[in-house]
Structure 1
Amino acid sequence: MRILWGTPYNVKSAIARYSRMVTRALVADGHTVEILRLEDKTALDHDILDHNLPVHVPYTFDFARLRHDYDVCVINYGDYFPFHAGALDLAAATPAVAVFHDANLDGFLGGARQIHPKLDALLNRWPPPGLTLPEKCTLPKQDLSFFAALASGCVVHGSHYVDDVVATCPGPTVQMPLCYPDVGAVPPAPDGSGAFIVTCFGMINPNKQPERILRALAVDPKLRTHGRMHFVGAIDEGYRTRLAALAADLGLAAPEFTGWVDDAHLCASLAQAHLVCCLRHPMTEGHSASIITALYAARPIVVNDVGSYAEIPDGLVHKIEAGEAPAPLAAVMAEIARDPQAAEAAAAGAAAWARVRYSAASYVGGLIPLLEAAIACRPGLEAGRGMARRLTSLGMNFDDSETGLPRSFLGCAGRPLMPTMSE
């Protein structure tokens, strides 16, 4: 297959690292792959990942090549708009396979609305006549279902949002675990202070529940005195100030904030950790590069028992109820402090499980049949887009029951309709 892979491709993007891993496996399997970067002009200034594939930037790419030079195009959707700004132009140009890394695209849509004024009008007409979304489909998932409807096939990384994608994608959909590069096991390396170190890493934001972690660390008097909180990753300055103030109010030592770090510094931070917190509330991700990295590193981990985290076998990680209550998390901290050897043994088992679960070979084995099925769907979807645009040019309203065409047909014809976003 000749594949155009749309993705961010800079050193600060977890999706970029995933993409490099998958595309290398596709090339090893005999396929031809080219990268189309999706970042906006500011994010394109970040250092590019090391690579050995042809890489294109969106602002100079000739979209006329899509029909003849590639068998299939893939778009990686994520919620951070600056890293995915070019996704809509590619979706408008061709029915592409959509990989949804997040179950909620509110952040992406917020940025997209600023530069694509036509988007609101399209979303206001969604869903079209004759299409019923699953009853549990909330507004953010309605937006997700809209992008699924533009695709020739879809990939999701968790069971908690697959139904909303299946309901609207006109091609095949597959649910499979995310794959991510293996950092290798990180042997414990205490910092020598005798402190109980809790680490949260990645993009530090309220969704990762830093405040819940701090409150849990303050529950037990011993941990309140000897506990240390490390936040490893980029963080908004205002939120950093807020977390530091909360720690002081709780009587905790000042948290350590590292900012963004490279892999070597991340591994060193994980080696010091007695517990890695991979909490999400609400669960807006498909899966998480952070949890996979922590599993590979063989560090004791606590997760909320929701979404794709719930799919990790019991006993490999500590699972707690989602929410804001600090007590369940405090109990896990106390348990690990009492018996660190048991926690390390469970973490070693988790690493062995993760290396099979999240491997590139497993992922590509599921991806290739989907790409082949999407290629078979593409001619019909392109015909549907052409028909919808032609009917629109004739003044037909897809909500107009007086056209004489069945509403189900109008919904189907309108579903692949997407204007050229750059117009």
Structure 2
Amino acid sequence: MKLVIFTPGVQSSAIGRMTRLVVRALLAQKHHIVVVRTESPHALAREAHDFGCTLLTWMDEAQVYEAIAGADCLVYQIGDNYEFHEGGVAWLQKAPGIVCLHDFFVGHLFWGWAQQRREEANHILTQWYGSKVATDYFNVSDSATFINSTRETAPLTEWISSMATGVITHSNWGCSRVMAACAGPVFVTPLAYDAPGALNSQSECNSDNKLKVLTIGHVNPNKRVESCIQAIASDPLLCKNISYRLVGAILPEVEKRLAELATNSGVELIISNEVDDATLSQAIIEADVISCLRWPSLEAASASAIEAMLYAKATIVTDTGFYKELPDQYVLKVSADNEIEDLRKVFLALQGNRSLSADIGSEAQVWAKETFTAENYAKRLEQAIPVVLRAKVITSAANHFGSIIERWSANPELLGTPDILEPLNIFNTNTIV
């Protein structure tokens, strides 16, 4: 097959990293791939992942149109970051294709897109969520308020899904909105990811015998760092026997507040800020436990949780969203409603039985290596494409008949009559889940 895949290419993009793995798996199966980078113009100058095939930018219009004209199918990798996906949204509107949806909340993506298209954005908000939501949508003071006020009422999942000919996503929890908006089939398959630093790695000898807990990635409220500190502080035994480290970008005011909380609580907190890949890998190797708490949880899959399991680390997750769908025996789940107490119990269990974290991590690693593979993802994409193409015939026919009925000012329920539906059954196929 000939595929055009739209994706962030910059090396700091986890979606770009995942796409590189899948592209190389598809190339190994002799498919012809053209990758189109979708970052905002100022980010296109940054170094890209090595996809091993022709690489264009979304602003190379003539070349992209030429690639599209010769393609069997278009594939869009879409997440909730306008800087990384500006070109993906622009081309998806002009040339629909399969959307690989990485987040079930794409409000930040929509917000960035809407800044130069406010009238169109208000129409979309009204269409999907009503005039009250549209009136209030842009009147928010900060990111946390924005997420909390819109994640249930206006996640914009429907906006992206309605433009897709089919959707591939990575967990089931947000699929109801996708299926309500996408006219084509919807597929669920595990995210493809890797952990090169985990190859042949061995945990470091823990000289001070403390349980080493690690949180990675941008330090923001939904990673629940304060809850981890409070859980450790809730028990003198934990304060004495746990070292908690943060590795990831952190704002100065957040760093100051967390450092003060830890000091006042008697908790050992090490804040390493953003580091290079080698240092991050070493931090994961040295850790006993990785905290991948997320509340609210907005993503279709968590690359950091997958990476932690691939490193054979005991991984703590919130019992919600993607994390809820992970098998209980491979992760340590805590309730968002009883977070600090559940964390305290988990920390006490791990501190009291030092082999427990290694045992959980080893079992999780075996499962993760078999599950989150590029080969599995590429195979599912190969299966999805002919299904989507057949479904496209049905939706095109329905759109054609719908336009005729609209011109006649007739009842749209006519589209549901046997005379129209039965001839289209020759293209019908069940959605793969």
TM-score (norm: length of structure 2): 0.83
Change (3 A) 1:128 1:201: closer
Alignment of 1:145-160 (within 5 A): 145-160=158-173
The question of 1:240 aligning with 2:250 is answered no
Match of 1:109 in 2: 110
Aligned to 1:308: 322
Distance 1:222 1:128 in 2: 50
- Structure 2 partner of 1:80: 81
Question: What SS is found at the alignment partner of 1:36?
Answer: strand
Measured after TM superposition, the shift of residue 30 of structure 1 is 1.8
Q: Structure 2, unaligned stretches of length 5 or more? A: 131-150, 416-433
Give distance in 2, aligned partners of 1:280 and 1:57. Answer: 33
Over 3 Å counting, the alpha-carbon distance change for 1:260 and 1:78 in structure 2 is farther
- Using the alignment, how far apart are the partners of 2:33 and 2:272 within structure 1? 38
Report if the CA contact (8 A) 2:239-2:267 is conserved.
yes
Aligned identity (percent) is 25
The residue that corresponds to 1:414 in the other structure is none
Aligned to 2:219: 204
Comparing both chains, which one has the higher relative contact order based on Cα–Cα distances under 8 Å and sequence gaps of 6 or more? 1
Q: CA deviation at 1:403?
A: 7.0
Matches within 5 A, 1:140-219: 140-141=154-155, 143-183=156-196, 184=198, 186-190=201-205, 192-219=207-234
Return the TM-score normalized by structure 1. 0.85
Farther off after superposition, 322-331 or 148-157:
322-331
Matched, 1:259 2:264: no
- For the 8 Å contact 1:100–1:286, the answer to whether it is kept is yes
Map 1:11-410 onto structure 2 (within 5 A). 11-62=11-62, 63-65=64-66, 67-127=68-128, 138-141=152-155, 143-183=156-196, 184=198, 186-190=201-205, 192-262=207-277, 264-323=278-337, 325-378=339-392, 404-407=409-412
Change (3 A) 1:202 1:408: farther
Query: Do 2:241 and 2:351's aligned partners in 1 also have CA atoms closer than 8 Å?
Result: no
Counterpart residue identity of residue 87, structure 1: G
SS in 2 for 1:344: helix
Q: Is the 8 A contact 1:247 1:255 kept in 2?
A: no
Question: Conserved in 1, the CA contact under 8 Å of 2:40 and 2:84?
Answer: yes
User: What SS does the aligned partner of 1:85 have?
Assistant: helix
1:378 Cα deviation after fit:
4.2
8 Å CA contact retained: 1:281, 1:323 = no
SS of alignment partner, residue 325 of structure 1: helix
CA-to-aligned-CA distance 1:123-143 (integer Å, 9 cap, x gap):
1342499xxxxxxx94234x2
Displacement of 1:216 in angstroms is 1.3
Which residue identity lines up with residue 334 of structure 1 in the other structure? L
Going from structure 1 to structure 2, the CA distance change for 1:377 and 1:106 (only over 3 Å counts) comes to: same
C-alpha displacement of 1:254: 4.0
Instruction: Point out the structure with the larger helix share.
Output: 2
